[in-house]
Amino acid sequence: MTEVNVINIKNPFQDQKPGTSGLRKSTLRFQEEHYLEIFIQAILNSIKDLHGSTLVVGGDGRYGNISAIKKIIQICVAHQVGKLIIPKNGLLSTPATSHLIRKEGAIGGIILSASHNPGGIEGDFGVKLNISNGGPAPESITSQIYQCSQSLKSYKISKIKTPDLDEVGVFSFGQTSVEIIDGLKDYSNLMESIFDLDQISDFLKKDFSLIFDAMNAVTGPYAKNIFVEKMGLADNCVMNGIPLEDFGGLHPDPNLTYASKLADLLLVQKSYSFGAACDGDGDRNMILGQGCFVNPSDSLAVITANTNCVPGYKGGIAGVARSMPTSSAVDFVASALNIPCFETPTGWKFFGNLLDSNLISICGEESFGTGSNHVREKDGLWAVLYWLQILAVKNCSVSELIQNHWKQYGRNYYSRHDYEAIPSPIANQIFNNLSSFLPSLIGNKFAGNLVKGADNFSYIDPVDQSTSKNQGLRIILEDNSRVILRLSGTGTKGSTLRLYFEKFAGSEQNLHLNPQVALKSLIDDLDHLLNIRKLTKMEKPTVIT
Ligand code: VG1
Ligand code: CO
């Protein structure tokens, strides 16, 4: 028998509120005694039939990853979990975790990541629970975990000597077996089963240059495995390819602000035909062509319109879904394909039921997230391979592909403005102010147009009928232009205000405007209405996408 210790503690979770995905806090907070342990205990309490079951545990390699995995091993041994599957060096991307849970029939997985937030001792750390379908735990489970974490007074742990994670192997502790596995193989096999990698490789070797930015985070080894080892491309097609504990000081969020070096290579120097980046845990993607940025909402539409180019989807797709703030570009494609298009709240967990019930095959969010029914998470490298496959089949450039798309479907001019880390009282004041007079906007003019709808988005899941309220304030105009305002649920400093703007231009209109110009009246009128720049004392948003 392995010895089990029951540790009594003073509960550190009194101030906790559920976030968009799991628990995300400063690394220093996670270093406090018992903090991680209590949350892991709360997670385990939420899992029925834990005894003898299989759990997958891995993370994005940020500071604290290995020590957290070792603590999780000790806690799982104390709870007689049957099997723990852990990747070598503790490195497992979020989509690869989702795949492994499904492939191994695990009861769930624990992902150690604060996703696109910075890492290191001064950065953030996080813990996410995925359930047996491979997807993020739904709200019913996350709220149970949070309630439990607030009331726990003790946790159980076995202070065994944990194995080193740098070699594959199987270890046994009491009733628990710990399997250290190769974390790359299953994922790249999955990609090989969806895409024609030979075709992509031939295309890339024929004068179509690729640069992939792993942002010193988890996707480096996966990208090298696929692009270099499997496709035979040169080693230097992957930049920032070695996972570092602090991501080398980078903020591993693949957008034009934080992946600025890559953006410069593609948009200013025009040194490559194709560029892409993924975030800390590998579920987000940014796609760039030579002199061309692909808006993630457009990317979802292009991916949906071109399923016939990709072997894994040649049989057709059941339907699509997008989060509410994502632009309606994909709606036009769905209507042309005569397939359903669902509108969900922000966060991947809302796609799970739709995917499991085969109501949709492809889904995405404006926040650089796209994915499909191959796993239950958004998948950065999948999206990159998907784009490359379309380009290889059509033998065209990124900008040709996107411009032809707009010519066919029209263009949804779109932009998101983030005001990051502003004082919470200011963010709440702006949000509450708009909520208070939202209904009274209906029938009035906004940006030269009549307001036909204004509400706080709420969603009823079509599969289990669960309701999610308070998912974002939106103003909808007569020409279907939209303005949306949300408070982020993933930030860790102050509050982050997200503003989203969308306006449709039909194929006969000018499709080549800068989105900031095309959306100017919406942007300006929202600022007049809410005084955002003045109240935040910010001249401009922190990030414009
Ligand atoms: C953000 C995005 C949302 C995404 C979430 C998790 O949430 O807007 O679309 O699902 O991050 O992404 P928020 O509440 O900050 O707007 V990640 O890469 O953490 O898995
Ligand atoms: Co992420």
Boundary (domain end) residue, out of 355, 385, 409: 409
Domains: count for the chain: 3
CATH number, domain of 482, equals 3.30.310.50
Confirm if 543 and 418 have CB atoms less than 8 A apart: yes
The pTM of the full predicted model, rounded to 2 decimals, is 0.92
Asked whether residue 358 falls in the same domain as residue 415, the answer is no
Q: Residues 115, 149, 201, 327: which is the catalytic one? A: 115
Asked whether residue 353 falls in the same domain as residue 475, the answer is no
Q: What is the pLDDT of residues 367-386, one digit of tens each?
A: 999 999 999 999 999 999 99
Structural domain of 322: 187-409
- Alpha carbon distances (Å) from 344 to 73, 263, 418, 464: 35, 30, 21, 14
Residue 18 confidence (pLDDT) above 80: no
Asked whether residue 196 falls in the same domain as residue 170, the answer is no
Query: How many CB atoms sit inside 10 A of residue 202's CB?
Result: 13
Asked whether residue 460 falls in the same domain as residue 474, the answer is yes
CATH number, domain of 152, equals 3.40.120.10
Asked whether residue 307 falls in the same domain as residue 449, the answer is no
Asked whether residue 353 falls in the same domain as residue 432, the answer is no
Q: Is the CB of 488 under 6 A from ligand 1?
A: yes
Angstrom distance (rounded) from CA 101 to CA 84: 11
Asked whether residue 160 falls in the same domain as residue 195, the answer is no
- Amino acid symbol at 407: K
Instruction: Tell me if residue 357 is catalytic.
Output: no
Boundary (domain end) residue, out of 377, 409, 441: 409
Residue located nearest, by CA, to atom 4 of ligand 1 = 347
Asked whether residue 98 falls in the same domain as residue 210, the answer is no
**96 Cα distance to chain centroid:** 13
Q: What is the pLDDT of residues 218-235, one digit of tens each?
A: 999 999 999 999 999 999
Q: Which atom of ligand 1 is nearest to the CA of 496?
A: 15
Q: Are strands 341-344 and 320-323 parallel, antiparallel or unpaired?
A: parallel
Q: Is the CB of 20 under 6 A from ligand 1?
A: yes
The confidence score (pLDDT) of residue 20 equals: 58
Nearest alpha carbon to residue 93 among 199, 190, 230? 190
Confirm if 531 and 358 have CB atoms less than 8 A apart: no
Using only C-alpha atoms, the chain has a radius of gyration, in whole angstroms, of 23
Asked whether residue 339 falls in the same domain as residue 475, the answer is no
Percent of the chain with pLDDT over 70: 98
Question: Average pLDDT of 458-470?
Answer: 94
Q: 296 Cβ partners below 8 Å, 6+ apart?
A: 285, 286, 326, 364, 365, 366, 367, 368, 369, 370, 545
Q: What is the pLDDT of residues 112-165, one digit of tens each?
A: 999 999 999 999 999 999 999 999 998 889 888 888 888 888 899 999 999 999
Asked whether residue 193 falls in the same domain as residue 274, the answer is yes
Asked whether residue 395 falls in the same domain as residue 512, the answer is no
Tokens of 178: 């710990």
Asked whether residue 456 falls in the same domain as residue 496, the answer is yes
Residue count of the chain: 545
Boundary (domain end) residue, out of 409, 440, 458: 409
Confirm if 338 and 320 have CB atoms less than 8 A apart: no
